[in-house]
Amino acid sequence: MTSPLSPRPSAPTSRLIATDLDGTLLRDDKSVSERTIAALAAAERAGIEVFFVTGRPARWMDVVSDHVHGHGLAICANGAAVVDLHQGGTFLEVRPLERPVALAVVQALRAAVPGTSFAVELTTGIHYEPHYPPFHLDPGATVATAEKLLFEEEPGTAAPVIKLLAQHPELDPDDFLAGARRAAGELASFTRSSPTALLEISGLGVSKASTLALCCAQRGIAPEEVAAFGDMPNDIEMLSWAGRSYAMGNAHPDVIAAASGRTVGNNEDGVAVIIEQLVAEALGEPT
């Protein structure tokens, strides 16, 4: 059996590292440890690209902006946006959730799961309903019903929707996800990364994995040459796609089941532990 802290022996040398942030690369206090900073720099020197792949919007990427090397690209909002962190989070590509589809999802969840409240994440910022937990990092948000937030005078004239969020004050998070998928899974992609009953809804087929696959194909990088890290259900598709995948020691049970390997928790620098092994392997050093 493969050691939980070791890659599969048959895997080719990794050319790209794809890592989630919260609960994965970041410690619980949202810091990047000195060991992790050193590991990211070592990967860059060894010619291994690093992609931050997160559910965070572009404007919340300041936690890693000082640790970006090389290309400076990140995949944000669960695959809905590719941004250039060297240019302050400039959007290079957006895979939107079309407003009529988002509205249909809202209507389906209102009917199937009473008590659900919504927020709308745009390329320009987030806005939310009166009963949605407020985002203290976004004091300029508009507060209105989702129907009003999604309205546009003419199709294509308003800022793109990159993510719809749905929150329920009482439901179990996994039960909420399963119920939402039953109610509207044919309309959009549903996932979650929060320990609370908070769902993240993207365009159908949009995920961390699908956008990462597009970015890798542009670079001639095969799935077998990618090492991925994650801890929550929004990482499952990415971990299943990558040739090497590592669930954090603090990961959700479904993530552990999806990954091909495991590392220690985010507060123990679990990503850095594996990056150090990958760099040594790339340089032909003993591990």
Q: Is residue 6 part of a domain?
A: no
Statement to judge: residues 83 and 215 lie in one domain? yes
Q: What is the pTM of this model?
A: 0.91
Decide if pLDDT at 10 tops 50.
no
Looking at the structure, tell me whether residues 24 and 80 fall in a common domain.
Answer: yes
Look at residue 9 and tell me if it is in a domain: no
Give the structural domain span for 40: 16-95+207-282
Structural domains of the chain, count: 2
pLDDT of residue 125: 92
The answer on 218 and 199 residing in a single domain is: no
Helices (H), the chain: 34-45, 99-112, 146-149, 173-184, 208-218, 236-241, 253-258, 270-282
Q: Which residue has the higher pLDDT, 60 or 237?
A: 237
Within this chain, do residues 111 and 58 fall inside the same structural domain, yes or no? no
**What is the mean pLDDT of the segment spanning 162-174?**
97
- Residues 179 and 110 grouped into a single domain: yes
Q: Which of 174, 203, 232 is the last residue of a domain?
A: 203
Evaluate if residue 7 carries a pLDDT over 90.
Answer: no
> Is the residue at 153 inside a domain?
yes
Q: What is the pLDDT of residues 151-167, one digit of tens each?
A: 998 888 899 999 999 99
Q: 99: which 2 tokens?
A: 């407003």
Span 89-96, average pLDDT: 94
Confidence of residue 65 (pLDDT cuts 50, 70, 90): confident
What CA–CA distance (Å, rounded) separates 269 from 34? Answer: 9
For residues 193 and 113, membership in a common domain is answered with: yes
State whether 75 and 160 are in the same domain: no
Same domain, 105 and 77: no
pLDDT tens, residue by residue, 100-111: 999 999 999 999
Give the span between the Cα atoms of 144 and 204, in whole angstroms: 25
Domain-terminating residue out of 150, 185, 203:
203
Within a domain: residue 182? yes
Q: What angle do CA 203, 204, 207 make, to 5 degrees?
A: 75
End-to-end CA distance of the chain: 18
pLDDT band at 2 (very low <50, low <70, confident <90, very high): very low
Q: What is the mean pLDDT of residues 29-49?
A: 95
Q: Computed from CA positions of residues 110, 115, 121, 126, in that sequence, does the dihedral angle turn out positive or negative?
A: positive
pLDDT at residue number 88 = 81
- DSSP code per residue over 3-62: -TTS--TTPPPPSEEEE-IIIIIS-TTS---HHHHHHHHHHHHTT-EEEEE-SS-GGGGG
Instruction: For the chain, give the mean pLDDT.
Output: 92
User: In degrees to the nearest 10, what's the CA dihedral of 119, 201, 197, 265?
Assistant: -120
Mean pLDDT of 253-265: 97
Q: Are 167 and 180 in contact (CB under 8 A)?
A: no
The CB-based long-range contact list for 147-152 (8 Å cut-off, 24+ gap) reads 147/103, 147/106, 149/118, 149/120, 150/99, 150/102, 150/103, 150/106, 150/120, 151/99, 152/99
Q: Cβ distance 111 to 85 under 8 Å?
A: no
CATH number of the domain within which 232 lies: 3.40.50.1000
Report pLDDT for 76: 97
- Where a domain ends, among 181, 203, 225? 203
At 108, list the tokens.
Answer: 């389906």
